[in-house]
Chains A and B, each alone.
Chain A
Amino acid sequence: MGRIGLLVALLIAIFTQAAEAHKLRAKGTPVIVADSKMTVTPTRDWNRLSTSPGKKAETWTIDGEQLNDLTFFAGIEAGQPLLKERSKKKDPLPKFTVGALLVDVPELLEGTYRTYKKIAAYRTTSTEPVKFLDRDGVKFTYEYTDEDQLTRKGEARAAIVDGRLYMITFDAPRLYYYNATVEEARAVMSSAAL
């Protein structure tokens, strides 16, 4: 009887610890993202997902990451990939290179998406200079079709600060969801500060 009680207590402990809830990112409250020095201030409530796609990345969503995906990359160093690699040796991702220029960043995201998602339908649709984190940055848009056969549009802003990459990407299906949320995403990107 005592042993069963111990086992039950152990199982409860395991399962409640493992269940980490998604966190609210409330409207108007500045927050740190991706355990870094970058802060953003959302103009509406977002959800921060409990699982992050990489060590220096964090994902926010409103309706679920397949419908709106706002991902922050903060402080990616030279030699590091954007996302957590499934296998460093057998399935490596493109790395942020030493001496990378802003004009290389769209190619880095493209290579990362194509390799990680195993897709071939990806197109960068525009690349423009922009002010991001109060510095010279790049703003680029893209369109791709993921394994779930859904075509998504994306917009991203990035800057390189002290040799580290800071980037915010927003992806959503091109039908309805992109247009519905892109302005909120842009507001978050404009509010980003180091």
Chain B
Amino acid sequence: MRVFTGLFLRVRNEAELGAVLGHEFGHFESRHTLNFFKARRSSSDLLAWSALLTSMSGSYSVHRSFQDLELAVYGSLFRHSRDQERQADLLGLSYLNGSELRPQAAEAVWRTIIAETEASAKARGLRKPNFKAIAFTASHPPEAERANYLSQLADPAGASRDDGSTRYSEALSPWLPILLEDQVKLNDFGASDFLIENLAEAGWSADLWFARGELYRTRGAQRDYINAITFYESAIKANPSHALAFRGLGLSMIKTGRRTDGQAALSEYLKLKPDASDANMLKLLLPGEQAK
């Protein structure tokens, strides 16, 4: 049971975070790791003995039956994993139902994940993913199924509870720039754009505008630079001393033919951050240096 920092970009409030952590704790409370180990052990014991008996029988039909048995046992093992995930989901939901947080958040987590996956696939020109299909080897139930039962079993009386979104965004805000940087640099344009807009539903901030600017600038098509310029300008409007926004603005302007404006923005960046690690490279783009 591991939780990665990327989770913090995908949940929007304490209730949603609670749904995920409650799920993981549900695994722990029901001892799923131990039970799954026992299931694997029993399954492999059964197959080992069956393989021995099959090889002793010397008959093709027995061998074919053994192959059927293999499929059945493996299928049942994967099914066991999916059932454990369902149990953990429901146990986590029961913690939410009995808490002071809004239990409808559990479904919201899955709706966000479905939307992010779709946005990522769309930007890459891939086929729309199927959220209902269960692969033979799937360890988790499909996303749509989870969203459905979590919404049906959430306590309706809890719908008016607080979801802790203000506390959550306050706690997240010092970490948001780093987490956004890590996300944008993963080169998943659709997912990153979706997540930034998702977070911005609670209000655009300088950090979010800056991240969006970086996302478009690093994709680097001509119209991306033009969009990036607007995003960086919005970041600067929200925080006039956001040094890196000036850097991104300057580079985007230079690449769209607005050389003088770009140089002014880069100069502003170097004024705000004279010890920038790429200061000497950026100075080469400024007038005066080029004349040398």
Q: Which residues of A contact B (CB under 8 A)?
A: 89-90, 92-95, 97-104, 106-107, 110-111, 114-115, 120, 122, 124-129, 136, 138, 140
Q: List 29 A-B contacts (CB under 8 A).
A: A89-B124, A89-B125, A89-B126, A90-B124, A94-B187, A95-B220, A97-B220, A98-B220, A101-B251, A103-B278, A103-B281, A103-B282, A103-B285, A104-B251, A106-B278, A107-B218, A111-B218, A114-B186, A115-B185, A122-B185, A124-B277, A124-B278, A126-B277, A127-B277, A127-B280, A127-B281, A129-B280, A136-B284, A138-B281
B5 at the interface (CB under 8 A from A): yes
Evaluate whether A101 and B182 lie within 8 angstroms (CB atoms) in the complex, with A89-B124, A126-B277 already known.
no
Determine whether the beta carbon of B187 is less than 8 Å from that of A111. Answer: yes
Q: Say if the beta carbon of B255 comes within 8 Å of chain A.
A: yes
Complex Cα distance, B254 from A90, in Å, reads 32
Chain B CB within 10 Å, residue with most, of A120, A128, A138: A120
- Contact-size category for B: 20 to 34
* Bound CA–CA A122/B178 (angstroms): 11
Q: Which residues of B contact A106 (CB under 8 A)?
A: 278
Chain B 165-186 interface mask (CB, 8 Å, partner A; 1/0) = 0000000000000000010011
CB-based contact A128/B281 at 8 Å: yes
Shortest beta-carbon distance from A66 to chain B in Å = 23
Contacts of A115 in B (CB 8 A): 185-187
Give Cα A115 to B125, complex, Å. Answer: 18
Give Cα distance in the complex from A129 to B278, angstroms: 9
Do A93 and B187 touch across chains, with their CB atoms under 8 A apart? yes
Contact B220 A120 (CB under 8 A): no
- Kindly list the 8 A-B residue pairs having the minimum CB-CB distance in the complex, ordered from nearest: A97-B220, A127-B278, A115-B187, A120-B182, A103-B281, A114-B185, A94-B187, A127-B281
Residue numbers of B with Cβ under 8 A of A are 5, 124-126, 182, 185-187, 218, 220-221, 251, 254-255, 277-278, 280-282, 284-285
CA distance A127 to B277 in the complex (A): 6
**Cβ-defined contact, A111 with B124, below 8 A:** no
Are B185 and A110 closer than 8 Å at their CB atoms? yes
**Cα–Cα distance between A109 and B281 once the two chains are bound (Å):** 16
Q: Which residues of A contact B187 (CB under 8 A)?
A: 92-94, 111, 114-115
Which residue of chain A has the shortest Cβ distance to B179 in the bound complex? A120
B266 nearest in chain A by CB position: A103
**Other-chain residue from A92, A95, A103 in contact with B251 (beta carbon distance below 8 A):** A103
C-alpha spacing A75/B251, complex, angstroms: 23
Known interface pairs A89-B124, A101-B285; 14 further A-B residue pairs with C-beta atoms within 8 A, sorted by A's residue number: A90-B124, A92-B187, A97-B220, A97-B221, A101-B254, A101-B255, A102-B281, A103-B285, A115-B187, A127-B277, A128-B280, A128-B281, A136-B284, A138-B281
Q: How far is the CB of A126 from chain B (nearest CB, A)?
A: 5
Name the distance in Å between B178's Cβ and chain A's nearest Cβ. 9
CA distance A98 to B126 in the complex (A): 25
Query: What CA separation (Å) do A93 and B277 show in the bound complex?
Result: 25
Q: Which residues of the other chain, B, contact A114 by a CB distance below 8 angstroms?
A: 182, 185-187
Q: Which of B5, B124, B280, B281 has the most CB of A within 10 A?
A: B281
Q: How far, in Å, is B162 (CB) from chain A's closest CB?
A: 32
Residue numbers in B under 8 Å from A97 (CB-CB) = 220-221
